[in-house]
Chain A
Amino acid sequence: MLTSIAKIIEWDRIETAFREVFNRRWYTNSGPLVRKVEKELERYLNAKHVICMTNYTIAKEIVREAGVEDPSLRVISLYPSVSMIPGACVSTDRDRTGTLLRNMRSSYGIDRQMDVPLTGNGRMSEAQALMILLALEKSP
Chain B
Amino acid sequence: MGKGCVDDLALFGGQPLFQKVRPISNLVRPDINVFLSYLKESYDTSYLQDGVLVRRLERRLEKMHGARCVTFCNGLWGMILCASLLASKGKRQVIMPSFTYRRLGDIAAWLGLVPCYCDVDPYTLVVTPETVGSCIGQDSALILATQAMVHRVDYNGLENLARESCLPLMIDSVEAGYATYKGRKVGSFGDAECFSMHASKLLNAFEAGYIATNRDDLIRGLRRLRSCYDMGLNETHAAMALASLDDLDGQIDRNKLRYRTYQRVLGGVVGLTLLEYVEQETQCFKNIAIRLEDSWPLSRSDTLDLLHAEKMLARPYYYPPLHMKQTSYQTISDDLLVTERVSQNHLLLPCGDFVSLQDIELVGEFLGFLSVYGEEINAYIYR
Residues of A within 8 A of B (CB): 8, 11, 14-15, 18-19, 22, 25, 27-29, 54-58, 61, 65, 84-86, 115-121, 123-128, 131
For chain B, what secondary structure do more than half of its interface residues adopt (helix, strand, loop), or is it mixed? loop
| Beta-carbon contact of A121 and B230 below 8 Å | no
| Beta-carbon contact of A128 and B29 below 8 Å | no
Closest chain A residue to B234, Cβ basis: A85
Chain A contacts for B29, CB-based, 8 A: 22, 25
| Beta-carbon contact of B229 and A57 below 8 Å | yes
| Beta-carbon contact of B234 and A121 below 8 Å | no
CB distance from B239 to the nearest CB of A (A): 9
The contact string, 1 if C-beta is below 8 Å from chain A, for chain B 198-234, is 1100001011000000000000000000000111101
| Beta-carbon contact of B236 and A127 below 8 Å | yes
Chain B contacts for A123, CB-based, 8 A: 74, 207
Range, interface on chain B: 35 or more
Chain A contacts for B234, CB-based, 8 A: 85-86, 128
| Beta-carbon contact of B240 and A121 below 8 Å | no
* A55: contacting residue among B75, B231, B329, CB under 8 A: B231
Taken together as a complex, chains A and B put the C-alpha atoms of A22 and B232 apart, in Å, by: 24
| Beta-carbon contact of A117 and B328 below 8 Å | yes
- Which residue, B231, B326, B329, has most C-beta atoms of chain A within 10 A? B231
Residues of B within 8 A of A (CB): 27, 29, 32, 35-36, 39-40, 43, 47-49, 73-77, 103, 106, 109-110, 198-199, 204, 206-207, 229-232, 234-237, 240, 326, 328-329, 354
* Nearest 9 pairs of A and B residues by beta carbon: A125-B206, A27-B199, A121-B76, A85-B234, A117-B328, A127-B236, A125-B207, A22-B32, A57-B229
| Beta-carbon contact of B237 and A127 below 8 Å | yes
Closest chain A residue to B44, Cβ basis: A11
A-B contact pairs, 5 of them (CB 8 A): A8-B47, A25-B27, A85-B234, A118-B328, A128-B236
Chain B contacts for A27, CB-based, 8 A: 27, 199, 204, 206, 240
Chain B contacts for A61, CB-based, 8 A: 110
CB distance from A136 to the nearest CB of B (A): 17
Closest chain B residue to A22, Cβ basis: B32
| Beta-carbon contact of A56 and B230 below 8 Å | yes
CB distance from B303 to the nearest CB of A (A): 23
Chain A contacts for B47, CB-based, 8 A: 8, 84
CB distance from A38 to the nearest CB of B (A): 17
* B106: contacting residue among A58, A119, A128, CB under 8 A: A119
| Beta-carbon contact of B39 and A14 below 8 Å | yes
CB distance from B149 to the nearest CB of A (A): 19
CB distance from A50 to the nearest CB of B (A): 19
Closest chain B residue to A88, Cβ basis: B230
5 A-B pairs besides A19-B32, A125-B199 with CB distance below 8 A are A29-B199, A85-B235, A117-B329, A118-B106, A131-B236
Chain B contacts for A57, CB-based, 8 A: 229-231
Closest chain B residue to A23, Cβ basis: B32
CB distance from A1 to the nearest CB of B (A): 23
Closest chain A residue to B48, Cβ basis: A84
Taken together as a complex, chains A and B put the C-alpha atoms of A18 and B235 apart, in Å, by: 14
| Beta-carbon contact of B39 and A54 below 8 Å | no
Chain B contacts for A25, CB-based, 8 A: 27, 29, 354
Chain B contacts for A15, CB-based, 8 A: 36, 40
CB distance from B223 to the nearest CB of A (A): 15
